[in-house]
Structure 1
Amino acid sequence: MNNELLEHKVNLNEKRLNNHADRIDKLEQNDARKEIQIENLCRSIEGLTHTLKWGFGFILTAVVGFFIYAIQNHIFK
């Protein structure tokens, strides 16, 4: 009886360990996928900030150009 109980507990613990190992493997795979998604998101954000910088530069240039035009044509008196 004692041997059977020990064998049952050992088998139960082995199943638990195997289950935990499988779960850890799945978590590692998900972690790798999330890491790739975060890297891609960072690249996208870098591209967007670069575009915004250029856009603000063009807008600022247009505003300065308008004021120079307005001063030369005496729009502001």
Structure 2
Amino acid sequence: MNEELFKENLKRHEVTINKHNDEIDELKVANIESKAELKALCENLNSLTSMLKWLIGTMITTLVGFFIFAIQRGIF
């Protein structure tokens, strides 16, 4: 009786451990996918930041050019 109870508990624990191993494997895969998505997002943010820098630089250059034009024409 005691040995049967021991074997039953052992099987139950093995099943539980196997389920936990499967869950850990799924979490590892999800973590890897999340890291890949985060890396892609960071690359996109870097690209957008670079584009914004170029846009701001172009706008400032245009504004300076306009002021030079306005001063030459006597608007200011």
TM-score, normalization by structure 2: 0.98
For 2:22, the aligned partner's letter is: D
**Shift in Å at residue 25 of structure 1?**
0.2
Q: Give the unaligned 5+ runs of structure 1.
A: none
Matched with 2:41 is 41
How far apart, CA to CA, are the structure 2 residues paired with 1:24 and 1:34? 15
Question: Deviation above 4 Å: which 4+ runs of structure 1?
Answer: none
Aligned residue pairs: how many? 76
Segments of 5+ residues of structure 2 without an aligned counterpart are none
Q: Distance in 2 between matches of 1:38 and 1:50?
A: 18
Q: Report the Cα distance in structure 2 between the residues aligned to 1:10 and 1:38, rounded to whole angstroms.
A: 41
**2:75 aligns to what SS in structure 1?**
coil
Please state whether the residue corresponding to 2:30 is helix, strand or coil: helix
Separation of aligned partners in 2, 1:62 and 1:73: 16
Give the Cα separation in 1 of the matches to 2:9 and 2:56: 69
In structure 2, the residue matched to 1:31 is 31
Looking at structure 2, the residues matched to 17 and 65 of structure 1 have their Cα atoms a distance apart, in angstroms, of 71
In the other structure, the counterpart of 1:13 is 13
| Partner SS, residue 43 of structure 2 | helix
Q: Partners of 2:18 and 2:75 in 1: how far apart?
A: 81
Matched, 1:71 2:71: yes
CA drift at 1:64:
0.5
